[in-house]
Amino acid sequence: MHTKADGVVSGGYPLSSEQDSNRLRDERLRKLNALRQSGTNPYPYKFGRSHLAGALQEKYADLAPGTETEDVVSVCGRIMNERNTWMFVDLVDESGKIQLFCHKESLSEDDLKQLKLLDKGDFLGATGTIRRTKAGELSIKVKGYEILGKSLQPLPDSWQGLTDVEARYRHRYVDMLINPHVRDTLRKRALTIRAIRQYLDERGYLEIETPVLQVEAGGADARPFVTHHNALDLELFMRIATELHLKRLIVGGFERVYEIGRIFRNEGISTRHNPEFTMLEFYCAYGDYNEMMDFTEAMLRSVAQSVTGSASLNYAGNVIDFGKPWRRLRMIDAIKDVTGRDFDKATEVEAARQIAKELKVDISQAETRGAMVNEVFETCVEPTLIQPTFIIDYPVETSPLTKVHRSREGEVERFELFVAGRELANGYSELTDPEDQRQRLEEQARKKAAGNLEAMPLDLDFLLAMEYGMPPTMGIGIGIDRLVMLLTDSASIRDVIAFPTVKPLAKS
């Protein structure tokens, strides 16, 4: 990226700036002015459309090649291509494409002349009769047209498209308009969220919004973004989870609540991480983690079916089947299956350390036995979990908000869902014992005081809420972005976010 002499910052693709002139833009400005001088408003107010392109393609699917009709229609959209010196124009709207046939037989001399002032990328409305060409292309024989929005920037090559990754994310609107699959992915994202809402709403869940700005950011192990409230002169944090507030709602008498909300975590950016992302969390009173696994499995199966039309899908070359019953496996048993090592027989830290060493797993960050078990699991087992698999019963040290296991010492009733080697969801029998919760959060606070930036702060109001009494509760968090990645076979989280975070270009 370089800075131009006039101080305008330019990227791999031109920024639209009044100062950023180049000859391609100048040429379009020339046409814009010519339009204005001929009395045409290049940016009019409305257009009366009779049909979407897709609807016409469907309606006239059986019209034979070489057939003319008297059916008059009006369409509008963006000019994406032109052939035969504007005799044929590809007009694209949200539903698809329709070809315009601009011939001297049906257009006035002025209209024919003004075609030369159009460019690819302009918005156009056209009225004419439906016909299908001998070559089989459904077309509109244009009797009149109106420019609906002049484009000043050249579109990327219609054949090669826009592939430069940086340009695609920096100017996502160009990416969307030139690469149809980008729009398709975002459409499927919307369908996914709609399907989830519908599924939960139909089952008595209530969607409630909880604060984004918080005095303490808790509910997950993550570094928050810090911001500031001027009037209160108060340091505030952007939320890293919705968990602690949704559980307050359970205390407050709501029995089934959820939130689909933006979460902010001040961490690195990668193909699987965006600083802001969308998480679904939901909580249901009187259920445990077993019931939650049943519910989650049925819900995601239904969502996959309604978004993609099938319960089995392709991701990164793997066929992933949401239809078959999902495996449920104790974490320690999963490790045993893959490595042959048995942590049930390594109850002391030193024994666990020994196993990790033998497996060449880096445990330099792990202090407790539980953390070591978790490291071994993540390194050795996680990448092997391609088909949907619930890993259950986590070491207590790694899960400060989870109820202790009803029968297994040192474990908690927690599960995580893995698909395509990645974590997709995290749920548990919620910890509801205020004294146990206090001890666990105090332990977290000690870690935080000792310099662990991801440890949870001590949220005294949350503890107070729990002291008022909390029913048994099952809860879960599902990463919506990663779910959409799976459903759309997207390699990067940025592909499923309309405007992913990009570093701004330096001002000179």
Cα R_g (the chain), whole angstroms:
29
Q: Which helix (H) or strand (E) holds 94?
A: none
From the list 24, 29, 190, 464, which residue makes contact with RNA (rule: CB under 7 A)? Answer: 24
Q: Beta strand pairing status for 327-330 and 318-321?
A: unpaired
* Assigned token pair, 184: 């398709």
From the list 111, 146, 166, 216, which residue makes contact with RNA (rule: CB under 7 A)? Answer: 166
User: Whole-number minimum distance, CB 399 to RNA, in Å?
Assistant: 10
| 158 alpha carbon, distance to own chain's centre | 27
Instruction: Name residues contacting RNA, limited to 105-124 (CB under 7 A).
Output: 105, 116, 119-120
Beta bridge partners of 302: none
Closest Cα to residue 289, out of 433, 428, 471, 432? 428
Instruction: Name residues contacting RNA, limited to 251-270 (CB under 7 A).
Output: 265, 267-270
Check residue 151 for interaction with RNA (CB under 7 A): no
Per-residue binding letters, 268-307, with RNA (x by CB under 7 A)? xxxxxxxx-x-x----------------------------
Q: For RNA, give the closer residue by CB, 160 or 230.
A: 160
Q: How far is CA 240 from CA 220, 437, 446, 447, in A?
A: 6, 19, 20, 18
Check residue 164 for interaction with RNA (CB under 7 A): yes
How many angstroms separate the CA atoms of 358 and 351, rounded?
Answer: 11
Q: How far is CA 431 from CA 76, 255, 275, 456, in A?
A: 57, 16, 28, 15
Instruction: Name residues contacting RNA, limited to 307-336 (CB under 7 A).
Output: none
User: Whole-number minimum distance, CB 462 to RNA, in Å?
Assistant: 17
User: Whole-number minimum distance, CB 426 to RNA, in Å?
Assistant: 6
Segment interacting with RNA, rule: CB under 7 A, options 11-19, 179-187, 200-208, 253-261? 11-19
Instruction: Name residues contacting RNA, limited to 386-415 (CB under 7 A).
Output: none
Check residue 247 for interaction with RNA (CB under 7 A): no
From the list 16, 50, 158, 439, which residue makes contact with RNA (rule: CB under 7 A)? Answer: 158
Instruction: Name residues contacting RNA, limited to 441-480 (CB under 7 A).
Output: 454, 477, 479
* Assigned token pair, 446: 């000690």
Q: How far is CA 218 from CA 114, 461, 502, in A?
A: 62, 12, 26
Check residue 360 for interaction with RNA (CB under 7 A): no
Closest Cα to residue 331, out of 390, 379, 403? 390
Q: How far is CA 40 from CA 107, 120, 381, in A?
A: 17, 18, 66
Q: Tokens 């000179």 sit at which residue?
A: 508
Check residue 362 for interaction with RNA (CB under 7 A): yes
From the list 216, 423, 436, 443, which residue makes contact with RNA (rule: CB under 7 A)? Answer: 423
Check residue 3 for interaction with RNA (CB under 7 A): yes
Kindly report the length of the chain: 508
User: Whole-number minimum distance, CB 265 to RNA, in Å?
Assistant: 5
Closest Cα to residue 363, out of 345, 351, 350, 376? 376
Q: For RNA, give the closer residue by CB, 329 or 497.
A: 497
Q: In what order do the strands lie in the sheet with 234-238?
A: 213-214, 234-238, 226-229
Q: Say if CB 79 and CB 93 are below 8 A apart.
A: no
Segment interacting with RNA, rule: CB under 7 A, options 48-56, 316-324, 336-344, 492-500? 492-500
From the list 208, 212, 222, 463, which residue makes contact with RNA (rule: CB under 7 A)? Answer: 222
Q: For RNA, give the closer residue by CB, 206 or 272.
A: 272
Q: For RNA, give the closer residue by CB, 192 or 426.
A: 426
How many angstroms separate the CA atoms of 246 and 420, rounded?
Answer: 29
Which string of DSSP letters, residue by residue, matches 114-139?
HGGG--TT-EEEEEEEEEE-TTS-EE
Phi-psi region of 136 (alpha: psi -120 to 50; beta: other; left: phi over 0): left
Q: Beta strand pairing status for 312-315 and 276-285?
A: unpaired
Which string of DSSP letters, residue by residue, matches 393-434?
EEEGGG-TTBPBPSSSTTEEEEEEEEETTEEEEEEEEB---H
Q: For RNA, give the closer residue by CB, 271 or 439.
A: 271
User: Whole-number minimum distance, CB 204 to RNA, in Å?
Assistant: 26
Check residue 502 for interaction with RNA (CB under 7 A): yes
Segment interacting with RNA, rule: CB under 7 A, options 4-12, 44-52, 436-444, 463-471? 4-12
- Which 3 state secondary structure label does DSSP give 375? helix
* Assigned token pair, 327: 């495996």
Q: Beta strand pairing status for 411-419 and 327-330?
A: unpaired
Instruction: Name residues contacting RNA, limited to 39-78 (CB under 7 A).
Output: none
Segment interacting with RNA, rule: CB under 7 A, options 49-57, 98-106, 289-297, 327-335? 98-106
Instruction: Name residues contacting RNA, limited to 170-209 (CB under 7 A).
Output: none
Q: With contacts defined by CB under 7 A, how many residues of the chain interact with RNA?
A: 81
Segment interacting with RNA, rule: CB under 7 A, options 45-53, 190-198, 292-300, 420-428? 420-428
Q: For RNA, give the closer residue by CB, 191 or 502.
A: 502
Segment interacting with RNA, rule: CB under 7 A, options 50-58, 215-223, 280-288, 350-358? 215-223
**Other beta carbons less than 10 A from residue 194's beta carbon:** 13
Instruction: Name residues contacting RNA, limited to 76-95 (CB under 7 A).
Output: 81-85, 87-88
Q: For RNA, give the closer residue by CB, 232 or 450.
A: 450
Check residue 29 for interaction with RNA (CB under 7 A): no
From the list 15, 63, 167, 359, which residue makes contact with RNA (rule: CB under 7 A)? Answer: 167
Q: Say if CB 379 and CB 385 are below 8 A apart.
A: no
Instruction: Name residues contacting RNA, limited to 223-242 (CB under 7 A).
Output: none
User: Whole-number minimum distance, CB 274 to RNA, in Å?
Assistant: 5
